[in-house]
Amino acid sequence: MGRLVDIGDTALYIEERGNSDAFPLLVFHGGPGLDHHMFGSYLDKLTDDGRYRIVLVDERSQGQSNRTDPSTWTIQRMADDVGALATALGIHDNYATLGHSYGAFVVLQHAVDHPGEPKGTIVSAGVASSRWLDNVDTELDRFEPAALRQQVTDSWAGEATVQTEDGAAKLLGDQMPFHFRDPAGPLIDEYVRNAPGTRFSPDVLRHFATQDYGGLDVADRLEDVTHPVLVLSGRYDRTCAVGAGEEMAKLLPDAELVIFEESAHMLFVEENARYLDAVRRFLDRIAA
């Protein structure tokens, strides 16, 4: 179902869903070190009425995308890849982006570096400055249930030294309770069943874990973004705190903030119907 698209110095793997003539939403996964499988089928209903199509992207050197020199593994370079991919697909003047978690860092950097290039940007569970990630240690110290606290803490620490794909899969699986409002709820097992086939990239995960996850810091440049931005935040997000979304929405000239009151970091899973409704309404606005 997927294919490689040449963007110059590398090729990115994409998987398209929906009508090929519909307005495209380029979708970027979290991690780093994951791939497009993280979204499973959770976004597919956006294509139901034929007006929108989703293009799921494996970011630079991740998933089934071609490998590049580690010197190119930066948020800025991956943000440039967004525009290069749009150009290669022939949609450079008519598309929107959605990024979740680390993918949100990428699309926000792209919005700042290339204002007005996309019709709109959707920042899902993201931050505008990596200083917000300093809160993770505090959240780990008070994470409940206590029986899972050491497992989750060890998984975060292990990102900096992970060597194998199986090792990365275990780390991120052990970490999953931290990313849901209910760490022992049924949604975690449902999510795992809905996202099979992930190709983990331990080298990319290790690279960013030892470099402050890319050191994103664009808060003082948000005023330069000229196109609409939809900011989606989970009230109980322990990684990208809701305060980061609120701050972002205040600094952006044309922003809409939607807070998911029953979600932590995995809002597209935890409140899927509301998530899809918010994204669809935003696309209706910018694609009209």
Amino acid making up residue 284: D
Q: Work out whether the CA dihedral 85, 218, 233, 254 comes out positive or negative.
A: negative
pLDDT digits (tens, 9 = 90+) for 19-56: 999 999 999 999 999 999 999 999 999 999 999 999 99
Q: Cite the beta strand spans of the chain per DSSP E.
A: 2-6, 11-17, 23-28, 52-57, 96-100, 120-124, 229-234, 255-260
Question: What is the DSSP secondary-structure string of 92-124?
Answer: TTS-EEEEETHHHHHHHHHHHHSTTSSSEEEEE
Mean pLDDT of 134-156: 96
Amino acid making up residue 38: M
Cα distance between residue 23 and residue 36, in whole Å = 19
Please report the pLDDT score of residue 195 as a whole number: 84
Residue 274 has pLDDT above 90, yes or no: yes
User: 1 falls in which pLDDT band (50, 70, 90)?
Assistant: confident
* CATH no. of 2-136+211-287: 3.40.50.1820
Residue 103 has pLDDT above 90, yes or no: yes
185 Cβ neighbours under 8 A, 6+ residues apart: none
Mean pLDDT of 224-232: 98
- pLDDT averaged over the chain? 97
For the chain, which residues make up each domain, given as ranges? Answer: 2-136+211-287
Residue 178 has pLDDT above 90, yes or no: yes
Please report the pLDDT score of residue 167 as a whole number: 97
Mapped onto helix, strand or coil, the DSSP state of residue 72 is helix
> What is the percent of the chain with per-residue pLDDT over 70, rounded to a whole number?
100
Residue 268 has pLDDT above 90, yes or no: yes
Mean pLDDT of 230-253: 98
Please report the pLDDT score of residue 211 as a whole number: 92
Please report the pLDDT score of residue 288 as a whole number: 81
CB 98 within 8 A of CB 232: no
Give the global pTM. 0.97
Please report the pLDDT score of residue 48 as a whole number: 96
CB 58 within 8 A of CB 65: yes
CB 101 within 8 A of CB 216: no
Please report the pLDDT score of residue 108 as a whole number: 98
Cα distance between residue 185 and residue 110, in whole Å = 35
Nearest to 106 by CA among 68, 62, 140: 62
Mean pLDDT of 181-197: 94
Please report the pLDDT score of residue 94 as a whole number: 96
